[in-house]
Structure 1
Amino acid sequence: MYDFAIVWDWLAFAVRWLHVITGIAWIGSSFYFVALDLGLRKTPDLPPGAHGEEWQVHGGGFYHIQKYLVAPERLPERLVWFKWESYVTWLSGFAMLCVVYYAGANLFLIDPAVLDVSAPVAILISMVSLSVGWLAYDFLCKSKLAETPTTLMILLFGVLVVMAWIYVHLFTGRAALLHLGAFTATIMTANVFFVIMPNQRVVVADLKAGRTPDPKYGKIAKLRSTHNNYLTLPVLFLMLSNHYPLAFATEYNWIIACLVFLMGVLIRHYFNTVHAHKGNPTWTWLVAAIIFVLIMWLSSQPGSDRPELAMSPLDQKFASAQGFDQVADTVLTRCSMCHAPEPGWEGIHRAPKDVVLDTPQRVAQHAREIYLQAGVSHAMPPANITEIQPEERKLIVEWYRAATAG
């Protein structure tokens, strides 16, 4: 049974790796095409129907790129589509949500002090929220608001603010910020799957049938693509936030998340403006820096104390397993100076990953993490700063395996 914990952790690592790889591919192509689109120039010798062109140099060669607002008169035999980067990024992200947060719902997803529900109910709330987000966003984009893109973006930001507040009242702080990122990423991938790609297929089908495509399909797809471009950087922050308790485990975590969206928009505005040769709005960096300082200040504000929660049957199994008393003493001696509500180690302001190990009960609740981090591997304590002994690590391994055997 103990091997299952190791296999599961490697599975989580593999899924995370896939998510990062596909995310790089999707974000890279997205940023490239937005920059390309904004940098196109009109020249006198453009072919009929061409909107603009750009010359680029890379890898020792030159590239001559031309863009058609609708399509060329004759469709080329080979047409490259960009879609799987987006799809696999979302699928791998959802797989990671399942492996980490759904499978570990009682530890990572549910905070009974926030909302005391069962794991199946919490998972259902999670899935429904992601679907509802897309439906609400799509409804807004199909309304008359689409004719005023700036107003639509402001309203979308308002939706994200509301969702940030809702999520912190449903899940743990760590899960709340990650869900806000997943909520946004679902909108982005659904834009590709339900709008951008179908619209492009309509244009291709019209061309093959000899019909003149309607430019409205490209206009609609461009609006959704623009939204994706501005939402990308905040999503990256939210995906990384689960590694930083100062972001997710503080009193004002939902406000921090909302401010990050503003930072992301400012940064993308700078690059989009520069790529479009419309100026150099360096003021955006100053405002973004001010917002970041505000975020740091918010994260330093004291939060409310978290009550010690009742142990689940699995936690009780670990607490009653042979060797638990010795393991608890080891953890309280070697780990609790950092993994405490108020860490005593200089330079650490929040418990790493917000994992608190200051009581035997909390040691039992984090048995798997202790086993992997301080038993099987030597990741904790960092650089073995508290000098945990080999026999103490061995005792952790034996305790965990005894509790999970049979």
Structure 2
Amino acid sequence: MEGYLLDWANLLLRWLHVIVAIAWIGSSFYFVWLDNSLRAPSDAALKEKGVGGELWAVHGGGFYNPQKYLGAPRHLPEDLHWFYWESYSTWLSGFGLFSVLYLFNPKVFLIDPNVANLTPTVAVILALAFLVVGWLVYDVLCRALQKKEGLLAVLVVAFVVIASWAACNLFSGRAAFLIIGAMIATIMSANVFFWIIPGQRKVVAAMKAGQPVDPIHGQRGKQRSVHNTYFTLPVLFAMLSNHYNMTYSHQYNWLVLVLIMVAGVLIRQFFILRHKGVVNVVYPIVAVALLAAVAAWIAPSRPAAAAAGASAAAVDVAQVKPVMDKHCIQCHAAAPTLMPTPAKGLMFDQPDQIKAHAQQIYQQVVVQKAMPLGNITNMTEDERALIGRWFEGGAK
């Protein structure tokens, strides 16, 4: 029953996380597009009111005319919408999901003995430290280099590269990618919580008190919002990467992570410029070339066991079953010992079940060597080769 309830917590938290993340990213992308699409008003009355840019748009059968003021409007409306619940809900639901899946099961999901021999307690502390330290380092850099955006960008990228390398040398590849994504997502939400919304509240408070509005709040909020939009695609890849072990299981997985995140930034840059009327195809071309190069680089080679399969002695499922019993049924069984329920719903208790999933077993165990997860059961190369010969011989 405990495992069943955890599965429901996983499902509902993931569903909630996706829903609110769509709302946050959608509103973020919309406002970046809107800000870059505004045109100076031609109406003298709008200029007199302090409107610096406007846009006419049609959507859903209606016409819209959003306007942006230079600084703040002279008279604050009573009905003022704030954009912050999307950010907070995304982070809270994401952290809840991260806790249920990873922090509550560090031995299974966080730790890979072949990477670093961590205790569960140390692994959890280090994972949380990445979130906290990531924000602190980023925030210090922004404070120190507020007017040196070029240098700031270089140092933030360098920090993410270092953090990616460190995470991939401390945690299992799957967890490392997710932790870097969570670290950047924490930075994004903290930007909203500590800078963007407080700055806007100070502007509103000054207006209500009849005091002049300090433009620094708008400048700081704009800087952090711009940073957030560049972070978005790298974070989305990191969050989705746990479904694609060919990326995080590579020997140089930290570099794979960095290169794919760079491709995401280049794609985002293309769209930001396009909003301004500048179409520079160099960015998407370089991004696609980078992704293609990574895909070619990490492509699995044909295992030696498979190449020798034709001349090797025939292997049947009776020989493979003891290997599966030793290394796989801890997670893939009717009553697994390392997980509350069978992972991915796959069970290998019986020979027929093993044969039915021969292709998946071969791909995960022999080609990509992604399973057992974190090689927690220490499967040997000889055992992988045995499974390889069995599959290449027809999985009999």
In the other structure, the counterpart of 1:220 is: 220
- Indicate how the Cα distance of structure 1 residues 253 and 328 shifts in structure 2: closer, same or farther if over 3 A, else same: farther
Q: Normalising by structure 2, report the TM-score.
A: 0.80
| Residues 339 and 356 in structure 1, CA contact (< 8 A), matched pair in contact too | no
* CA shift for structure 1 position 337: 4.9
| Residues 364 and 371 in structure 2, CA contact (< 8 A), matched pair in contact too | no
Residue 142 of structure 1: SS of its match in structure 2? helix
Q: Tell me whether 1:27 sits opposite 2:25 in the alignment.
A: yes
Q: Which amino acid aligns with 1:290?
A: A
- Indicate how the Cα distance of structure 1 residues 301 and 83 shifts in structure 2: closer, same or farther if over 3 A, else same: same
State how 1:65-214 maps to structure 2 within 5 Å: 65-143=66-144, 145-214=145-214
In the other structure, the counterpart of 2:268 is: 268
In the other structure, the counterpart of 2:280 is: 281
Of 344, 352, 356, the match for 2:372: 356
| Residues 253 and 299 in structure 1, CA contact (< 8 A), matched pair in contact too | no
In the other structure, the counterpart of 2:14 is: 16
Q: Which amino acid aligns with 1:280?
A: V
Residue 65 of structure 2: SS of its match in structure 1? strand
Residue 117 of structure 1: SS of its match in structure 2? coil
* CA shift for structure 1 position 250: 1.2
Q: Which amino acid aligns with 2:15?
A: W
Counterparts of 1:218 and 1:244, CA distance in 2: 40
* CA shift for structure 1 position 329: 4.8
Cα deviations by residue, 1:286-323 (Å, 9 ceiling, x for unpaired): 101110011102322669xxxx9x99xx99x968xxxx
Q: Which amino acid aligns with 2:196?
A: I
Structure 1 residue runs without a partner (length 5+) = 320-325, 364-385, 388-406
In the other structure, the counterpart of 2:65 is: 64
- Indicate how the Cα distance of structure 1 residues 131 and 343 shifts in structure 2: closer, same or farther if over 3 A, else same: closer
* CA shift for structure 1 position 182: 0.3
* CA shift for structure 1 position 199: 0.4
- Indicate how the Cα distance of structure 1 residues 40 and 329 shifts in structure 2: closer, same or farther if over 3 A, else same: same
* CA shift for structure 1 position 43: 2.0
Cα deviations by residue, 1:61-116 (Å, 9 ceiling, x for unpaired): 11111101321000000100000100010111101110111122111111122121
* CA shift for structure 1 position 362: 7.7
Residue 64 of structure 2: SS of its match in structure 1? strand
Counterparts of 1:80 and 1:147, CA distance in 2: 30
| Residues 38 and 55 in structure 2, CA contact (< 8 A), matched pair in contact too | yes
Q: Tell me whether 1:40 sits opposite 2:38 in the alignment.
A: yes
Counterparts of 2:363 and 2:271, CA distance in 1: 41
Cα deviations by residue, 1:328-367 (Å, 9 ceiling, x for unpaired): 65565444553257757xxxx436xx3339x99689xxxx
- Indicate how the Cα distance of structure 1 residues 360 and 282 shifts in structure 2: closer, same or farther if over 3 A, else same: closer
* CA shift for structure 1 position 49: 2.1
In the other structure, the counterpart of 1:402 is: none
Counterparts of 2:376 and 2:70, CA distance in 1: 65
Q: Which amino acid aligns with 2:368?
A: R
Residue range with higher mean Cα deviation, 233-242 or 257-266 = 257-266
* CA shift for structure 1 position 13: 1.2
Residue 290 of structure 1: SS of its match in structure 2? helix
| Residues 41 and 54 in structure 1, CA contact (< 8 A), matched pair in contact too | yes
Counterparts of 1:4 and 1:355, CA distance in 2: 25
Of 321, 327, 346, the match for 2:349: 327
Q: Which amino acid aligns with 1:135?
A: L
- Indicate how the Cα distance of structure 1 residues 71 and 360 shifts in structure 2: closer, same or farther if over 3 A, else same: closer
- Equivalent residue pairs, number: 342
| Residues 22 and 89 in structure 1, CA contact (< 8 A), matched pair in contact too | yes
Counterparts of 1:88 and 1:182, CA distance in 2: 14
| Residues 328 and 360 in structure 1, CA contact (< 8 A), matched pair in contact too | no
- Indicate how the Cα distance of structure 1 residues 157 and 301 shifts in structure 2: closer, same or farther if over 3 A, else same: farther
- Indicate how the Cα distance of structure 1 residues 330 and 105 shifts in structure 2: closer, same or farther if over 3 A, else same: farther
| Residues 41 and 53 in structure 2, CA contact (< 8 A), matched pair in contact too | yes
| Residues 112 and 376 in structure 2, CA contact (< 8 A), matched pair in contact too | no
Residue 81 of structure 1: SS of its match in structure 2? coil
* CA shift for structure 1 position 7: 2.0
Residue 177 of structure 1: SS of its match in structure 2? helix
Cα deviations by residue, 1:190-239 (Å, 9 ceiling, x for unpaired): 00000000000000000000011111110011000000001101100110
* Identity between Structure 1 and Structure 2 (%): 43
| Residues 164 and 258 in structure 1, CA contact (< 8 A), matched pair in contact too | yes
Q: Tell me whether 1:55 sits opposite 2:56 in the alignment.
A: yes
| Residues 41 and 51 in structure 2, CA contact (< 8 A), matched pair in contact too | no
Of 360, 381, 384, the match for 1:338: 360
Q: Which amino acid aligns with 1:356?
A: P
- Indicate how the Cα distance of structure 1 residues 166 and 227 shifts in structure 2: closer, same or farther if over 3 A, else same: same
* CA shift for structure 1 position 246: 0.9
* CA shift for structure 1 position 6: 2.0
